[in-house]
């Protein structure tokens, strides 16, 4: 129908990288260095990707600040952080290769903060045994993006010199969205999408595609993620026949701002609580004392008086319950809100204003003070903040081969790196590991995509009817005028995910979420967008909705299936970690329109890597059977030692 009249711009590339954040740019650099003609597809302008939001730094065991640090220690920290659900090989590669990837950035022009002897400075961060995060103040993500962006420009300058054209071998398609991957049998043949600016369609014919589209946070009401995080890569992979793992694991921060709207989702650092901030409900009650679990009872204060003495005399008093682990704090906030004692905007009050002098707050929390003053005109020295759990990062993603980043499932030529891929972080990501993850696996995916393209005997062909179908799907929301507004649908989806598949999950709520997602699926299928094709955000959102929906279904299904609490998945009805569940990944695939869930055993950790942990620690994570194996292994080693 429409195809005869619709103009479609065609391009031929060797490697198409979807996503222009850290992982995408690093992958593209690698593919171009391997001599491949490479396209970078960016949903935003070049250099605006969500990577710029990363503040803490990039974790790499360079040992610049503490020379005892090495890849084994980093590996151990990563596995602990992920509660041993990580793909061990990915964690190993990441720990081994991240120093090289960081050093490489310096040759591209990056300027990290320095140590006294002129090396890259490294800072402490939660879960890392030694100071390990290379950083630039609190704008490390921006430095990373800008550096990679400028490296791409320098490659383009080389191409201009050699071929007379900046875009001879690497081109950035900014403000372009891919809506469909095209297949020839089980091989990737290309990608179809549209220019956001003009609404014109664009078809890439390419044998290899690297997904680097980031996360899924926009499916949640309160999130620190940008609008781009609609799970495009996750959904594209599913539809192309790839699989997703660990989708039940999302990282929430317990205290994100929920009010005012201008700062909704933005993180309020834990140090606000460490410096005296307390959580209160709408009745003005400091409620955390009611939520101290028995296992923590001995370490936490029972009265406000004792808790308040701790700030000045931590040796003789127990900690205030506001400093319980993240998930406990989040659970408490969640309970208060659900019991009707929440703040007007659906959070609780974090009050430091009534407890510390304005001067002291400004001195101890300068960046918090300035951030909220500047962005929202909220004076944290004068009023309480309204906070609640905010969606921050998705650990789950495309199931990939750890070494090459090639997607599993029944598709070839598809690669994934960064937040869109799964496995590296297990059930919980350590701060600082995402920036190094981007670099390590971005490079790998780009390199392997290039060699895959090299090894093909013939180019897969794009089928005409697949393109026609893609055009039809893309234009459908514009041609309907009876459906619902995409913004309403997005709000409803966010409400379902935020309320029912949020930080604390229960069987009943998850079941309800699934039935409401099924209703939403019907409504999304009939969405209509007003206006034309030219830079029409309503239309763009209408097309993103189906991706958000299918990814949300994966999360809800996997969350219902996993009957334990681990890392970024907390089940109120199964509060403990269960070693039996550690051996299982939940794998999502698409069958027609339906999300299918399967259990798959985790790969077995290599002996020398298990050997990096002591038995007492492993006992927390492993089943008795696995522990027996471990002991046999240690005994073997001891025997071998004796024989020598």
Partner 1 sequence: MANETSPAGKPAAKRQFRIWRGDESGGDLQDYAVEVNEGEVVLDVIHRLQATDAPDLACRWNCKAGKCGSCSMEINGKPRLSCMTRMSTFEEDETVTVTPLRTFPVIRDLVTDVSFNYEKARETPAFAPPPDLAPGDYRMQQVDVERSQEFRKCIECFLCQTVCHVIRDHEENKQAFAGPRFFIRAAELDMHPLDVKTDRREYAQAEQGLGLCNITKCCTEVCPEHIKITDNGIIPMKERVVDRRYDPLVWLGSKIFRRGQVPQTSVTSGHSSGAVHASGGHGGVHSHAGGSHDPQAEAQAQGGVNWNREVPHPTAPAVDTRGRLPLTELTFDRAAAPSPFGDDVTFPMPPEHLNFAHPEQDKH
Strands 133-134, 58-59: pairing kind? antiparallel
**Of the listed pieces 76-84, 261-269, 465-473, 507-515, which binds partner 1 according to CB under 8 A?**
261-269
Q: Which one among 94, 128, 146, 569 touches partner 1, defined by CB under 8 A?
A: 146
Is the CB of 491 or the CB of 515 nearer to partner 1? Answer: 491
The verdict on 608 binding partner 1 (CB under 8 A) reads no
Distance of closest approach, residue 105 Cβ to partner 1, in angstroms: 9
Please tell me whether residue 3 binds partner 1 under the rule CB under 8 A: no
Classify 74 in phi/psi space as left (phi over 0), alpha (psi -120 to 50) or beta: alpha
Q: Write the CB contacts of 639 (distance below 8 Å, at least 6 apart in sequence).
A: none
Return the number of the residue (55 or 399) whose C-beta is nearest partner 1. Answer: 55
135 binds partner 1 (CB under 8 A): no
Residues in region 283-302 near partner 1 by CB under 8 A: 284
**CB neighbour list of residue 10: distance below 8 Å, 6 or more residues apart:** 202, 203, 205
Q: Taking Cα atoms as reference points, which of 578, 573, 575, 555 lies closest to residue 391? A: 555
* 367 touching partner 1, by CB under 8 A: no
For residue 160, what are its two tokens?
A: 């201009």
Site for partner 1 in 156-175 (CB under 8 A): 156-157, 166, 174
Residues 218-237 that bind partner 1 (CB under 8 A): 226-228
Is residue 492 part of the contact set for partner 1 (CB under 8 A)? Answer: no
Which DSSP string do the residues of 389-400 spell out, in sequence order?
Answer: EEEEEE--EEEB
Q: Is 111 in the site for partner 1 (CB under 8 A)?
A: yes
Q: Does 349 bind partner 1 (CB under 8 A)?
A: yes
Torsion of Cα atoms, 314 then 315 then 320 then 326, to 10°? 90
Residue 386 near partner 1 by CB under 8 A: yes
- The verdict on 621 binding partner 1 (CB under 8 A) reads no
Strands (E), 348-461: 348-351, 385-394, 397-399, 414-416, 421-422
Q: Provide the minimum distance between the beta carbon of 152 and partner 1 in the complex, in angstroms, as a whole number.
A: 10
User: Segment 70-99, which members bind partner 1 (CB under 8 A)?
Assistant: 99
Looking at 360-368, 422-430, 536-544, 627-635, which segment touches partner 1 (CB under 8 A)?
536-544
CA angle 94, 98, 101 (to 5 degrees): 130
Interacting span for partner 1 (CB under 8 A) from 32-40, 269-277, 369-377, 407-415:
369-377
Which of positions 241-260 make contact with partner 1 (CB under 8 A)?
Answer: 259-260
Nearest CA-CA partner of 470 in 45, 211, 214, 180: 180
Which listed residue (77, 97, 143, 232) binds partner 1 by CB under 8 A? 143
Binding status of residue 107 toward partner 1 by CB under 8 A: yes
Inter-residue contact 215 to 233 (CB < 8 Å):
no
Please confirm, yes or no, whether 534 is among the known catalytic residues: no
> How far is it, in rounded angstroms, from Cα 618 to Cα 605?
12
Contact call for residue 407 and partner 1 (CB under 8 A):
no
Set 101, 135, 273, 331: catalytic member: 273
Considering only CA atoms, which of 16, 27, 13, 145 is closest in space to residue 418?
27
Q: Is 253 a catalytic residue?
A: yes
462: helix, strand or coil: coil
Token match 């620690």: residue? 617
Q: Which candidate in 74, 196, 253, 444 is catalytic? A: 253
Q: Which stretch binds partner 1 (CB under 8 A): 152-160, 298-306, 548-556, 613-621?
A: 152-160
Residues with a catalytic annotation lie at 253, 273
């Amino acid at each position: 129908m429409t195809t005869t009249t619709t103009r479609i711009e065609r391009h031929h590339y060797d490697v198409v990288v979807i996503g222009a954040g850290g992982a995408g740019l690093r992958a593209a650099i690698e593919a171009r260095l391997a001599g491949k003609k490479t396209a970078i597809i960016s949903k935003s302008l070049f250099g605006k990707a969500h990577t710029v939001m990363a503040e803490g730094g990039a974790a790499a065991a360079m040992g610049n600040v503490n020379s005892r640090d090495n890849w084994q220690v980093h590996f151990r920290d990563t596995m602990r952080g992920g509660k041993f659900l990580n793909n061990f090989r990915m964690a190993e590669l990441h720990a081994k290769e991240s120093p090289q990837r960081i050093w490489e950035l310096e040759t591209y022009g990056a300027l990290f903060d320095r140590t006294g002897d002129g090396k890259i400075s490294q800072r402490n961060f939660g879960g890392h045994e030694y100071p390990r995060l290379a950083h630039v103040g609190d704008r490390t993500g921006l430095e990373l993006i800008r550096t990679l962006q400028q490296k791409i420009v320098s490659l383009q300058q080389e191409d201009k010199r050699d071929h007379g054209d900046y875009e001879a071998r690497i081109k950035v398609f900014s403000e372009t969205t891919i809506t469909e991957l095209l297949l020839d049998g089980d091989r990737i043949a290309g990608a179809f999408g549209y220019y956001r600016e003009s609404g014109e369609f664009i078809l890439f014919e390419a044998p290899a595609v690297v997904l680097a589209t980031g996360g899924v946070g926009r499916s949640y009401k309160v999130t620190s993620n940008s609008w781009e995080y609609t799970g495009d890569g996750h959904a594209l992979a599913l539809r192309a026949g790839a699989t997703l793992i660990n989708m039940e694991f999302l990282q929430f921060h317990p205290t994100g701002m929920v009010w005012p709207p201008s700062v909704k989702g933005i993180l309020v650092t834990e140090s606000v609580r460490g410096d005296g901030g307390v959580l209160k409900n709408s009745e003005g009650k400091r409620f955390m004392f009611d939520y101290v679990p028995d296992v923590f009872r001995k370490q936490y204060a029972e009265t406000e008086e004792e808790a308040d003495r701790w700030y000045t005399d931590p040796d003789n008093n127990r900690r205030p319950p506001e400093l319980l682990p993240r998930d406990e704090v989040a659970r408490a906030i969640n309970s208060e809100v659900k019991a009707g004692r929440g703040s007007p905007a659906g959070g609780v009050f974090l009050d430091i204003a009534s407890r510390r002098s304005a001067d002291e707050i400004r001195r101890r929390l300068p960046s918090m003070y300035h951030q909220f003053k500047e962005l929202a005109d909220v004076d944290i020295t004068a009023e309480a903040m309204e906070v609640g759990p905010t969606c921050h990062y998705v650990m789950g993603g495309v199931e990939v081969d750890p070494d090459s980043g090639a997607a599993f499932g029944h598709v070839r030529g598809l690669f994934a790196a960064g937040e869109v891929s799964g496995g590296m972080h297990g059930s919980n990501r350590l701060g600082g590991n995402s920036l190094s993850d981007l670099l390590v696996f971005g490079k790998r995916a780009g390199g392997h995509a290039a060699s895959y393209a090299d090894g093909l005997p013939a180019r897969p062909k794009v089928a005409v009817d697949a393109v026609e179908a893609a055009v039809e799907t893309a234009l459908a929301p514009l041609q309907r005028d009876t459906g619902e507004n995409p913004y309403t649908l997005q709000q409803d989806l966010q409400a379902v995910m935020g309320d029912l598949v949020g930080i604390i999950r229960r069987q009943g709520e998850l079941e309800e979420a699934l039935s409401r997602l099924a209703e939403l699926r019907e409504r999304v299928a009939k969405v209509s967008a007003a206006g034309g094709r030219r830079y029409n955000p309503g239309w763009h959102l209408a097309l993103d909705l189906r991706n958000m929906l299918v990814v949300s279904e994966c999360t809800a299904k996997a969350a219902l299936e996993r009957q334990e609490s681990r890392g970024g998945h907390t089940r109120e009805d199964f509060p403990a970690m269960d070693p039996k569940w550690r051996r299982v990944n939940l794998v999502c695939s698409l069958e027609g329109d339906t999300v299918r869930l399967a259990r798959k055993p985790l790969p077995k950790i290599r002996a020398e890597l298990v050997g990096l942990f002591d038995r007492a620690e492993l006992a927390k994570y492993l089943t008795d059977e696995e522990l027996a194996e471990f002991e046999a292994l240690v005994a073997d080693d001891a025997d071998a030692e004796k024989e020598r």
